[in-house]
Structure 1
Amino acid sequence: MTETNVQQHQQELKKQLWNIANTLRGNMSADDFRDYILGLIFYKYLSDKLNKYANEILSEDGVIFANVNATTEDGKEILEAIKEEALDKLGYFFTPSELFHVIAKAGENGEFILDNVTQVLNNIESSTMGADSAEDFNGLFDDLDLTSNKLGKTPDARNKLISQVLKHLDNIDFHLESSEIDILGDAYEYLIGMFASGAGKKAGEFYTPQMVSKLLAKLVTLNNPKLKSVYDPTCGSGSLLLRVAKEANNEDLQFYGQEQNPSTYNLARMNMIMHDVHYNRFDIQNDDTLEDPQHIDARFDAVVANPPFSADWSANPLHLNNVRFADYGKLAPKGKADFAFVQHMIHQLDDNGTMAVVLPHGVLFRGAAEGHIRKHLIAEKNYLDMVIGLPANIFFGTSIPTCVLVLKKNRKHDDNVLFIDASNHFEKGTNNNVIRESDLERILNAVTKRENLSEDELKKFAHIATQAELKENDYNLNIPRYVDTFEEEELVDLAAVAKQLVDNDKTMLETDKTIADFCAELGIDAPFEVKG
């Protein structure tokens, strides 16, 4: 499949998926229909994947999986053999009668299918019991409640709606035979993005805009493209982890993440599977990362995150005895957990790894405990490598300006910190500003050249700050202290204007021009209305 064909298929797929979403949109909030549409898309994906895999196994015998009769002895024997293979390769199994196409056709023919769909989803999960994939499939469909009144007031109304959705989905070809395995995954991320934009702040919590994800992924893979592991302590839907995989040169990359919201945690696991990440290659956990970290003893080559901005946390004094926070002497404030996430991420970072995190601008200059922690990171640990200022209003649900901090335990440029001010480089969008490819390239150019940047490249965009400068500023990292972006306004020479007016006044006596005419020529407003 050529790149052009892939793009065309992606656009058509996105269009159809959004039309299906609109089938549900009128019945419920964006947050609710997100769970239904993505859950059913995932069922469709699992079904198509299993059907394709089983047919490959059966091809030598001339048997088609969908035609295997589960009630005969031969059929049972065939299905048992396929189940064993599928659990190892795919991590799940279900019978031909439970394939998405079969259920969708039954619904199209007017049959009541809600109970069947619910049973299939339960069977998918139960098929993994005792298998290595059990943890990754456990509770995946918990948010798909087909008895909810959100789908309709009566069972028949709910059945009609779900049947319509399944019919539309059944007509979509996911092109699983293509080597471009991200065709569905990209559309899936598109839907997540659309849901985030439609649902506001709540949805935005689990979605990082694509260009921001790409920036973080580029930053952590720049000098380590063959990294073996990546970790996101607030992984949301998992798109940031998957973006790192696109930049890393390792097909066996291991993914680790933690997400507090149960629904979003399910999305992350679905997203991994839909991007063809084998269940043995990802470990996503559901819990509060700051209070109950699930990977505390592990260290990772790359750590990335877009934590919830200025979130609440316990700030329990007992945390000062925790290995993640003890060395700093102070905890992040109860109502601003930003530095708590930074400290946690540093703890999980391998000695030769790189971490990149998106944070609100306040972390750069707020004082008290945050100022103390910031100074410790710079003066005592010397972990801070870069500060990148991003444009305002690029995240769903908040218009505040943000920044990216890049930290390393073993820094190549250990005597300075690179500051980049990219806040004025964006395209204004309808609801949110957008970082363009050219804006991203300008940032990465400054990162790669660093100490070899020309005066023109440094001017109003970047600055190399020495340790002495940082100390002189009392470790306040507010970007305007280091990058001068001030634009001087063109001043009007009032004396020259006055002289010109006098000259014009003399000229007016010899012409039929008005004061307004002369003022227009000078590009200024007339001081008063002149009546003839």
Structure 2
Amino acid sequence: MTTTTQFETQTKNLIDELKSVCANYGLGNDGNEFKIITQVFLYKFLNDKFVHEVKELDANIAKAEKWEDALRDLPADDYEMLTMQMRESTANILPDQLISSLYKRQNEPKFSDLFDNTLLDIAKNNSDIFSVITEGGEKIVLFENISKYVTDKRDEFCKAIINKLVNFSFEHIFHEKFDFYATIFEYLIKDYNTNSGGKYAEYFTPHAVAKIMARCLVNENVSNVTCYDPSAGSGTLLMNLAHQIGEDKCTIYSQDISQKSSNLLRLNLILNNLVHSIPNVVKGNTILEPYHKDKNGRLQQFDYIVSNPPFKLDFSDFSTDLDSKENHERFFAGIPNIPKSKKESMAIYLLFLQHIMFSLSEKGKAAIVVPTGFITAQSGIDKKIRERMVESKMLAGVVSMPSNIFATTGTNVSILFLDKQNKGDVVLIDASNLGTTIKEGKNQKTVLSYDEEDRIIDTFNTKTAVADFSVVVTYDEIKAKNYSLSAGQYFEVKIEYTDITAEEFKEKMNAFESSLEALFAESKTLEMEIQNNLKELKYE
């Protein structure tokens, strides 16, 4: 029997082979390689899931020597009935659109047109369930013309792709769970999670951070809840959160300005059995035009929010547009100023943070990655936000992470936890000394062990004070410390002392006096010697 490890190896091999085909046709490390690899991988996954479900629903097709022929021979009404019984998360694919059908037709003229049109037709037929939408209401469907990215030998390129896909099957791994698909997704995008100068984490947040956020947010059974990320990237945080809650117990909502991110998130939702949430994935500018609203036109409020927003970004083009009457409540602490130089250093995370606070339901919880400097800033928007969190009693705690937890950013980060129902104590954790430093490319990266992750999670959830690691404080104590959320500022200063009697104290003092007298006498002797030596030098 094939093990999970073998399935994982085979899946990674398929990804490598698809990348090899791209390289052979001049697309290696090309900006369009990402689009080809992710769409072809998705086509294969949906194709095999459809076949898997067909065989589950129809025993005759499953037993047939040539199941493709048995499926093709079904009367139209029977075929329609079969597809109506399928799960909503399974794409509807016609017999001629199956990979096995294209494989048999690969020697037909203009095969690249056949290949592209097949993908476009599948996308069109399944657009209601599988489309991402833009803030303007346009649909971004599953697939596009893939062969257009190849300048020459398009037919041969599409044949090469089909020949790689036909020799592999996902059918045996649909029972695999979150951890398997998280590993595969990370492998799939590892060459594409940088953008315009290496903005790592735009598409992928380290597993340790995502795990800590999810498990500190959700430590009890919940159901029928909404989860939101206003800067979703590829959805790593949302996937971990949904897995912690239960994929069938929550609905995902997201917005991200990047179409690339939105497509990656869609792929992640499909892999993780969250297809029902794809219509809630929106490509758009959350800060300027937040999309998700209730029936009264007010911004929708959510039960759980996770986010690793961009820390700094030039938003000067629309900064003045944010200063409107309808935004005064949302951006209660203010809008960061536009610096005269280095506009790219504008602290956009402060806007995301205020947006998240505004978007929490009455029982809402949130976990947000922020620069560690935020938790101690003595003035400005940063402090106003912390004051609001404390005054309105919506703070659960802070975990300050080790440096270099993100491989390519020198910024130290903390995870800020909000809880609208936490009217009691707040837990502050200093995890900056945990982790092991490893080399990742040209950069240093800090990696937490599983035991260290669990130590943070357990300490947070049990609200335990541990010397030099965590403190449990009241809202009043935070006010007294000028709203600082740094655990280190609350640690007790340790002074070691020993109980002694009055007689012992007197003996020690006498000993100190005798030592001092001896030292003074010795000093006097040395001083006399030096003076005599100086006199001798003077008369020589």
CA contact (8 A) 1:253 1:281 kept: no
Question: Which residue is equivalent to 1:262?
Answer: 259
Secondary structure at the aligned position of 2:147 is classed as coil
Q: Deviations over 1:172-225 (max 9, x none)?
A: 221356522554564123322453279972453111111211111112112454
Q: Which residue of 184, 188, 195 maps to 1:187? A: 184
CA contact (8 A) 1:255 1:282 kept: no
Which residue does the alignment assign to 1:279?
276
Check the 8 A contact 1:304/1:356 in 2, yes or no: yes
Distance 1:198 1:281 in 2: 24
Across the two proteins, how many residue pairs are aligned to each other?
467
Structure 1 375/178 Cα, relative in aligned 2: closer, same or farther at 3 Å?
Answer: closer
Amino acid at match of 2:186: E
| Structural mapping, 1:52-451, within 5 Å | 52-60=52-60, 66-67=68-69, 75-85=75-85, 89-90=88-89, 92-104=91-103, 106-107=105-106, 113-128=111-126, 131=128, 138-141=139-142, 145-148=146-149, 151=150, 153-154=151-152, 156=153, 158-176=154-172, 178-182=174-178, 183-184=180-181, 186-196=183-193, 201-202=198-199, 204-223=201-220, 225-226=222-223, 228-249=225-246, 251-279=248-276, 283-297=280-294, 298-313=300-315, 314-316=318-320, 318-319=322-323, 321-322=325-326, 325-326=329-330, 328-334=332-338, 335-413=346-424, 416-431=425-440, 432-450=445-463
- Deviation sequence 1:389-421 (CA, Å, 0-9, x none): 1122222532321110001112052xx432211
> 2:46·2:90 contact (CA, 8 Å) conserved in 1?
no
> Whole-Å Cα distance in 2 between the matches of residues 338 and 198 of structure 1?
19
Instruction: Tell me if the contact between 1:207 and 1:237 (Cα under 8 Å) persists in the aligned partners.
Output: yes
Could you state the TM-score of these two structures normalised by the residue count of structure 2? Answer: 0.76
Structure 2 Cα separation of the partners of residues 224 and 323 of structure 1: 35
Give 1:305 shift: 0.9
Gaps of 5+ in 2: 295-299, 339-345, 495-540
In the aligned structure 2, how far is the partner of 1:469 from the partner of 1:407? 17
Post-superposition offset of 1:232: 1.1
- Runs of 5+ consecutive residues of structure 1 not aligned to the other structure: 487-532
- Once the two structures are TM-superposed, the CA of residue 39 in structure 1 deviates from its matched residue by 0.8
Please state if 1:49 is matched with 2:45. no
Root-mean-square deviation (CA, aligned residues, Å) is 3.4
**AA of the residue aligned to 2:374:** V
Query: SS state of the match for residue 230, structure 1?
Result: strand
Deviation at 1:254, TM superposition (A): 1.1
Change (3 A) 1:209 1:280: closer
Q: CA deviation at 1:312?
A: 3.4
**1:83 to 1:336, Cα distance in 2 relative to 1, 3 A:** same
Aligned partner of residue 399 in structure 2, secondary structure: strand
> Does the 8 Å contact 1:330/1:372 carry over to 2?
no
Q: Would the aligned equivalents of 1:66 and 1:97 in 2 still touch at CA under 8 Å?
A: no
Q: 1:324 to 1:46 in 2, by over 3 A?
A: farther
1:84 is displaced (CA, Å) by 4.6
Residue equivalent to 1:32? 32
Q: Per-residue deviation at 1:435?
A: 2.2
Q: 1:474 aligns with which of 476, 482, 488?
A: 482
Q: Structure 1 residues 59, 449: CA separation in 2 closer, same or farther (over 3 Å shift)? A: closer
Provide closer, same or farther for how the CA distance between residues 83 and 449 of structure 1 changes in structure 2, counting only shifts above 3 A.
closer
Structure 1 or 2, whichever has the larger Rg, is 2
Supply the distance in 1 between the matched residues of 2:249 and 2:57 (Cα, whole angstroms).
25
SS across alignment from 1:115: helix
Asked if the contact 1:332/1:338 (under 8 Å) is kept, the reply is: no
Q: TM-score, normalised by structure 1?
A: 0.77
- Aligned residue type for 1:36: I
- The aligned amino acid for 1:257 is S
Give the conservation status (yes or no) of the 8 Å contact 1:79–1:95: no
The DSSP-based 3-state class of the residue aligned with 2:287 is coil
Preserved contact between residue 333 and residue 369 of structure 1 (Cα < 8 Å): no
Change (3 A) 1:104 1:241: farther
Q: Distance in 1 between matches of 2:484 and 2:81?
A: 64
| CA distance 1:30–1:418, shift in 2 (3 Å) | farther
Read off the aligned partner of 2:313 and give its amino acid letter: A
